[in-house]
């Protein structure tokens, strides 16, 4: 891994309104922060990131995404996952396993309660 100093002006500004940073869901903020932090740490350059994000958006449009802005962070997450796999930061099988664990945890968590990964691990064994 090479650590590169990413000039702050090359990183995206947080989406904001008059009251501060705005995301539709907490996971969007987490995905945003993770991409920025991995780039700052030198795992990939910001131009690499934007190329992956552009490709994810292009692929979604080709599959009929209406590009209304509501799916932007879904594309952000898809690009981040693909980039992390291509950079060998995570194996695809490990990512798929973890996503399934989170899906099961979500399904086994009462509405209104915080999701805990352990809630989805008992039926995996």
pLDDT for residue 15: 67
pLDDT for residue 44: 95
Residue 3 has pLDDT above 60, yes or no: no
Q: Which pTM value belongs to this model?
A: 0.74
Q: Average pLDDT, stretch 75-86?
A: 95
Closest listed residue to residue 56, CA positions, set 80, 84, 88: 80
Give the Cα separation of 22 and 57 in Å (integer). 21
Sequence spans of domains, the chain: 23-90, 92-125
pLDDT in tens, 31-52: 999 999 999 999 999 999 999 9
Residue 104 has pLDDT above 80, yes or no: yes
Give the Cα separation of 37 and 31 in Å (integer). 10
The size of the chain, in residues, is 125
Provide, rounded to the nearest whole percent, the portion of the chain with pLDDT above 90: 54
Cβ distance 104 to 124 under 8 Å?
Answer: yes
pLDDT band at 24 (very low <50, low <70, confident <90, very high): confident
């Amino acid at each position: 891994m090479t650590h590169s100093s990413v000039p702050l002006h090359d990183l995206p500004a947080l989406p904001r309104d008059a009251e501060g940073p705005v995301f539709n869901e907490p996971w969007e903020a987490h995905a945003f922060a993770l991409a920025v932090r991995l780039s700052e740490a030198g795992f990939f350059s910001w131009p690499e990131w934007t190329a992956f994000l552009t490709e994810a958006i292009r692929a979604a449009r080709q599959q009929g995404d209406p590009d209304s802005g509501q799916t932007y962070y879904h594309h952000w997450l898809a690009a981040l996952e693909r980039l992390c796999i291509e950079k060998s930061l995570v194996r695809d099988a490990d990512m798929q396993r973890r996503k399934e664990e989170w899906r099961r945890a979500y399904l086994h968590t009462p509405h209104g309660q915080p999701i805990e990964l352990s809630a989805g691990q008992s039926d995996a064994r």
